[in-house]
Amino acid sequence: MRNDNRMFKKILIANRGDVALRVLRASRDLGIPTVSVHSTADNDAMHVKLADESVCIGPPKSSESYLNVQALISAALVTGADAIHPGVGFLSENADFAEIVNAHAITFIGPSPEHIRTMGDKVAAKQAAKNVGLPLVPGSNGEVKNLTDAEKEADRIGYPVIIKAASGGGGRGMKVAATKKELSEAFSSARSEAKAAFGDDKVYLEKYLTNPRHIEVQVFADAHGNVVHLGERECSIQRRHQKLFEECPSPILSSEQRKRIGELSSQATKKLGYLGLGTIEYLYENDEFFFIEMNTRLQVEHPITEMVTGLDLVCEQIKIASGAKLNFEQQEILFKGHAIECRINAENSSTFLPSPGKIDTFHPPGGPGVRIDAIVYQGYKVSPFYDSLISKLIVYGKDRETCLLRTQRALEEFIIEPIDTSIELHKKLVCHKDVMSGNYSIKWLEETFLQNT
Ligand code: MV4
C-alpha cells in the first residue's frame, strides 16, 4: 500500500513491550514499514514477530541494548529508516538522544531536544510553566542551594514542605519535612539521594500537598502553530509511583473545570512553542490545579484518551512529526463516554513480587467496549529483565457506571496462567466503594485499599 509521499518511508521503533507493539500497529495502519529492535532476551517478542524487519541490538541488559544509542543509530542507518519513535521510558525523554537522531538526518518522533531538556530539569520546567501562565505549587523560586536558604523558604511557604530533586521525577529523590526540626535532615538526605541517583544534587522546595489527586492533561501541537488539548486523565491510583488504574475523564471534575484546565494547558503549550504529544501533570487539591511536571512523550495510559476522543494518538503523533498539519480543531474533538485502563503486570497481587515465567493459558476478554493491548500469548515466556507490564485492559462505556461494570466483567473473563498477575488486584479494586464513587487520592491505594484487603 502507498502512503502520502511526504510521510516517513520507514520507522524504527527504539523500544520493546506494549509500546513497541502500539507504535508498530500505528505505523502499519498508516502504511509505513517498520523496523523493530530487540535484545537477545526478546527474540520471541510480538514486536519482533510483527515488524517488517528487526535488528538485534545487544544482550538482555537494557544499558547494552534498548539504551545503546550507537546500536540504535546503526540499526536505523543500515535499514534505511528515516524516523525513530522512542516509545515510553528508555530513551524517550533523553534530549541528547533526540539530538543525535536529528543529527543523522533521521526524524525523532517527539518534541525538540530543547523542550525535552527543559522539562527534564524540574526547576527549569517550573520556570517555563510559570512563564506560560500555569499555576505552580507554592515553592522556592528555583534551586535551593543551602540549609539557610531552605529554612528561609520553608518559613515563607509554611510547613509541611517537600524537597525535590531537579533531575528527579517519577518520585525519586523526594523528602518531606513536617516541621523546621525535620528540615535539615530532609534537606541533606534529599540532596545526597539526588546526587547518588542522578549525579546532580540540585534540589528545590515546595509546599507539601497532603492529599492531592493526580490529574494530567493531554496536549498536542503541530509545527504550524495549531494546538489542541485532548482532555484529562485521572491517574491517582498508583503504588510507589507506578500507576495501576487510570480513567478518562476524571470522575470528579465538572465540565467547567475540565474546560478551564484544558484550555489553560493548550494555551501554555502554544506559548511554549511545543511540538507533538505532551502531557501536563497536575496535582489537584481543594478545587485547585498545580503544575508539577510535563512529560514530553507518549504515555502508557494514552489509550483511554483514544477511546473517549475516537482519535488514534500514535498515528496523529507520527503524522505531525512528518510535518503534517493537525486535521481537526478543538471544537471538533468530542469527548464521549468513559474509559478505564487496568495495567496487568506479571506480579503477585498481594506481595507485588515479579512473577516471570511461561504462560500456558492466555484467554483475553472480548465483547463490546473491550480493548486488549497485550504483548503476551500462549507459550510466551515473561522475561525477568524488563518491566512487568504484560497487558493493558482498556474498557469503554457510554458512562462511568457502564464502564466500571464492563471492566468487572472483562476482568472476570481474563485468564492468564500459571504466572501471578495484577488481574486479581484489579478485580477487587473495581468493585470497591471508593473506586465506584470516585473518592480516591494518590494515597488511597497504599494507605486505604492495601491496608484493608
Ligand atoms: C508532590 C506531592 C505533594 N506535594 N508535590 C511524586 C512524583 C512527582 N511526579 C511529584 N510527586 C509528588 N509531588 C507536592 N508539592 C506528592 C507527590 C506524589 C505523587 C504525585 C503524583 C502521583 C503519585 C504520587 C505519589 C506520591 C507522591
pLDDT digits (tens, 9 = 90+) for 138-174: 999 999 999 999 999 999 999 999 999 999 877 777 9
Q: In sequence order, which ranges of 301-422 are alpha helices (DSSP H)?
A: 302-309, 313-321, 400-413
Q: What value does the mean pLDDT take over residues 71-79?
A: 98
- pLDDT, mean of residues 52-63: 98
Which residue among 162, 281, 290, 440 is best mutated to probe the pocket of ligand 1, counting the most ligand atoms within 8 A of its Cβ?
162
Edge-to-edge strands of the sheet including 161-169? 172-177, 161-169, 203-207
Say how many Å lie between the CA of residue 32 and the centre of ligand 1: 39
Question: Is 292 close to ligand 1, i.e. is its CB under 6 Å away?
Answer: yes
pLDDT at 452: 83
d(CA 386, CA 99): 26
Nearest to 162 by CA among 211, 205, 210: 205
Per-residue pLDDT, 169: 74
Q: Is the CB of 173 under 6 A from ligand 1?
A: no
Residues β-bridged to residue 233: 216
Q: Residues 6 or more apart from 386 whose CB is under 8 A from it? A: 16, 17, 41, 62
Q: What is the pLDDT of residue 168?
A: 84
- Residue percentage of the chain with pLDDT more than 90: 96
Closest atom of ligand 1 to 210 CA is 3
Is the distance from the beta carbon of residue 214 to the nearest atom of ligand 1 less than 6 Å? Answer: yes
For residue 2, what pLDDT is reported? 47
User: Which of 58-67, 168-177, 217-226, 228-237 is the least confident region?
Assistant: 168-177
Element (H, E) at 169: strand 161-169
Residue 1: pLDDT over 60:
no
Which are the catalytic amino acids?
Answer: 297
Query: Whole-angstrom Cα distance, residue 355 to residue 413?
Result: 21
Query: What is the C-alpha to C-alpha distance for residues 211 and 230, in angstroms, rounded to an integer?
Result: 26
* 192 has pLDDT over 60: yes
Going by pLDDT thresholds of 50, 70 and 90, the confidence category of residue 4 is low
Cβ of residue 209 lying under 6 Å from some atom of ligand 1: yes
- Cβ atoms of residues 408 and 428 within 8 Å: no
**Terminal C-alpha separation, the chain:** 53
Expressed in angstroms and rounded, the spacing between residue 215 Cα and the centre of ligand 1 is: 11
Instruction: Reply yes or no on whether the pLDDT at 314 is more than 70.
Output: yes
DSSP helix/strand/coil, 38: strand
User: Helix, strand or coil for residue 452?
Assistant: helix
Query: Does the bond joining 160 to the residue before it have cis omega, within 30 degrees of 0?
Result: yes
Question: Does residue 211 line the site of ligand 1, with CB under 6 A?
Answer: no
C-alpha cell at 360: 500456558
What pLDDT is recorded for position 345?
98
Q: Tens digit of pLDDT for each residue in 403-420?
A: 999 999 999 999 999 999
pLDDT at 160: 98
d(C-alpha 100, C-alpha 298), whole Å:
20
Residue 392 has pLDDT above 80, yes or no: yes
Do 205 and 153 touch, CB atoms closer than 8 A? yes
pLDDT given for residue 6 in this prediction = 73
Residues near 244 by beta carbon (within 8 Å), at least 6 away in sequence: 237, 238, 342, 343, 422, 425, 426, 429, 445
Tell me how far CA of residue 405 lies from CA of 253, 280, 428, 432, 449, in angstroms: 21, 30, 13, 12, 19
CA of 171 to the centre of ligand 1 (A): 7
Per-residue pLDDT at 383 exceeds 60: yes
Does the C-beta of 442 come closer than 6 Å to ligand 1?
A: yes
Task: State in Å: Cα 148 to ligand 1 middle.
Answer: 25
Centroid of ligand 1 to alpha carbon of 212 (angstroms): 8
Q: What percent of the chain is predicted at pLDDT more than 70?
A: 99
Q: Give the model's pLDDT for residue 131.
A: 98
pLDDT 10s digits, 319-328: 999 999 999 9
Burial of residue 329 (number of CB atoms within 10 Å: 0-12, 13-18, 19+): exposed
Instruction: Give residue 173's pLDDT.
Output: 79
